Structure 1
């Protein structure tokens, strides 16, 4: 089912596995209580081994979930990270499920009705919990349910009397229902996560160009932090003659031109630089982690040259001018709005001079310590 999941959906679903701390704790205590009672009643060594193993595996699952939660909270996980956490979580889930299945199977090997009742309750309770909380990873959930429920169901069938045949039939029916419910929960969760991610994407992206919007720009800037040895550069630019393009060719062509410009920006920028459309024909480039001021000038020249090349839209060749201004500051020393105002001033000067590039650097910023050439 991995092919139904985008990378973001996959990472979100795997993250749900560390939300099972409370159910895992409750189930671990329940397994310990039922197992000890069954051992006290039957004096079966396999029962004791399964109980101890399940308890240790529950503690391991809790420890892994805590570590998984901390990892998700401290850094943005990659697909590879999520895959590793999924395997580790699945390992402990499989061990617990196998212990539950072993405990119930051994219990049904003895003719003690009280132990039978507890074994049935434990098996159904565990499978219900898996169906509800682990269905986000259907392979893990289905395997766990089969490990926990199938062996005791077969054990019940061996009794051969009517009551036990009915009980085994109920187990099979509930097993099938659990699988169907698991797939339903998984499908519903997938749809909800996709809807959430789509809404989150729309909240941070410009619908016409697909570039980041002002909200995403603010969030990205705030996430940069402070560093005395690193510069952050903000480039602001707009299009010269964009109104005449709309008047001559129509707004549909104007929109297509903006989309083409966005595509060229994406191709020309290397991470961690970001392109943002803040409205109309106004764009911003956030250029963090600049260690040589010459890099900011080089980026500005590359962008102006690339965006100034002709565009073929609806059979017409369109050329547009760029007026770009930029500024820079020590990372975290100046707020974003102030930097954008400063870069806008440089952009306006560039426009008054016929387009191209201008810059405005605060008098208090000593570029000499960042680059000898500066």
Structure 2
């Protein structure tokens, strides 16, 4: 069983961040199971403490109630945070750690309550304590398996902390029994709880694996819908998402640069060598382009030989100019495509937010207009919105 859980964990090691965040969300969002566990522990613990007049049982029960209340507030805080904006992987790890602390503390206190109650002196025929402790252990195990199965390690530790002391207490009671039927009853309860925990862990491992595959498949389909089929760059959908995200983080002294790129002489390559060569050339252009943009920037293909780059964190327009000139230089170097040396160029129009507009449509329109002023005045250069084309641009048609 532990090998199986470990195997599941190893398979989950390369889990994409988005899939991990979704799994954490499935565990940390539900509040009713957490509240119900607290109510069950409070009812059983207080009844046992009252029955046995035991201060330690009462203290353990009150501590369990306090931990559960804190866990409920943690879940509510998570729900509020998740409703505000997307939670990234690093933050999700923090939420999972806090949730795990609450879960493990609650499980340990529940196990301690059961062990304390079972190991106290009882009349041989008494069935109240084993009935209540076993019932509480089964309810908690069922709740953990159903609610935390998506994270098998949390499930395994929670079950171990709650079930192990309960099983030990039942075995101790069995060794003290003089009636064979009572002895077998305690042993049977211990075996059933152990078996339930084992089956629950195996089910959690299978649930995790199945859910993981489903989430990754869903993310892959979503990614395909936001990516250009040929180059793998962002398409219009992802371009808008990344722009909207970047614009919300735009600082008071920052620009967001929109670079509109159009390849020069690409149509001539298509006409001379065919569309397959043209597609290979676009992929080669993409590979070079990706070496020049940072991870936080966005490179997108809008179709044909038209590309857009969203450059964030620009403190001065010269930073955008430096990137654009580097793109012109690097993309203008010769390409080796199917044994042919092919050379093209690129013209770039640049618009800056908020100076030239605030929406993606405004900025692309103004950058595109600058690009075509460059095309009319001479290809292979860079023009900012509302700037005339540089007189040094070569007239290459």
TM-score (norm 2): 0.83
* Aligned-residue RMSD, C-alpha: 2.4
Q: Distance in 2 between matches of 1:74 and 1:316?
A: 53
Pairing 1:48–2:58 present: yes
Q: How many residues align?
A: 363
Ranges in structure 1 where 5+ consecutive residues have no aligned partner: 364-374
Which residue of the other structure, out of 35, 38, 47, is the alignment partner of 1:37? 47
Q: How does 1:55-134 map to 2 (within 5 A)?
A: 55-74=65-84, 77-109=87-119, 110-111=122-123, 112-134=126-148
Which residue of the other structure, out of 274, 284, 287, is the alignment partner of 2:308? 284
Distance of aligned partners of 1:151 and 1:192 in 2 relative to their CA distance in 1, 3 Å threshold = same
Instruction: Provide the residue aligned with 1:369 in structure 2.
Output: none
Q: Distance in 2 between matches of 1:237 and 1:36?
A: 71
Instruction: Provide the residue aligned with 1:191 in structure 2.
Output: 213
Q: How does 1:1-374 map to 2 (within 5 A)?
A: 1=9, 2-74=12-84, 77-109=87-119, 110-111=122-123, 112-158=126-172, 159-160=174-175, 161-223=183-245, 224-225=247-248, 229-270=253-294, 272-330=296-354, 333-362=357-386
Instruction: Provide the residue aligned with 2:391 in structure 1.
Output: none
Q: Distance in 2 between matches of 1:116 and 1:251?
A: 77
Q: Distance in 1 between matches of 2:335 and 2:274?
A: 15
The CA deviation string for residues 236-273 of structure 1, in whole angstroms up to 9 with x for no partner, is: 11212223323333333322222222222221012543
Q: Distance in 1 between matches of 2:16 and 2:261?
A: 34
The CA deviation string for residues 64-88 of structure 1, in whole angstroms up to 9 with x for no partner, is: 3334444545565554433333322
Q: Distance in 2 between matches of 1:326 and 1:332?
A: 10
The CA deviation string for residues 147-187 of structure 1, in whole angstroms up to 9 with x for no partner, is: 11122123223315222222222222212211111111111
TM-score (norm 1): 0.88
The CA deviation string for residues 294-348 of structure 1, in whole angstroms up to 9 with x for no partner, is: 2222221111111111222333322222122222242694322122122222222
Which range is displaced more, 87-96 or 219-228?
219-228
Q: Distance in 2 between matches of 1:64 and 1:285?
A: 40
Q: Which segments of structure 1 move beyond 6 Å, counting only runs of 4 or more?
A: none
Distance of aligned partners of 1:6 and 1:314 in 2 relative to their CA distance in 1, 3 Å threshold = same
Shift of 1:358: 4.2
The CA deviation string for residues 81-102 of structure 1, in whole angstroms up to 9 with x for no partner, is: 3333332221211111111112
Q: Distance in 2 between matches of 1:138 and 1:33?
A: 28
The CA deviation string for residues 95-129 of structure 1, in whole angstroms up to 9 with x for no partner, is: 11111112222333345423322222211111111
SS at match of 1:187: helix
Q: Distance in 2 between matches of 1:325 and 1:80?
A: 37
SS at match of 1:355: coil
Q: Distance in 2 between matches of 1:27 and 1:283?
A: 55
Which range is displaced more, 57-66 or 188-197?
57-66
Note if contact 1:94-1:147 (Cα within 8 Å) is conserved in structure 2.
yes
Note if contact 1:232-1:331 (Cα within 8 Å) is conserved in structure 2.
no
Q: Distance in 2 between matches of 1:180 and 1:307?
A: 54
Ranges in structure 2 where 5+ consecutive residues have no aligned partner: 1-8, 176-182, 388-397
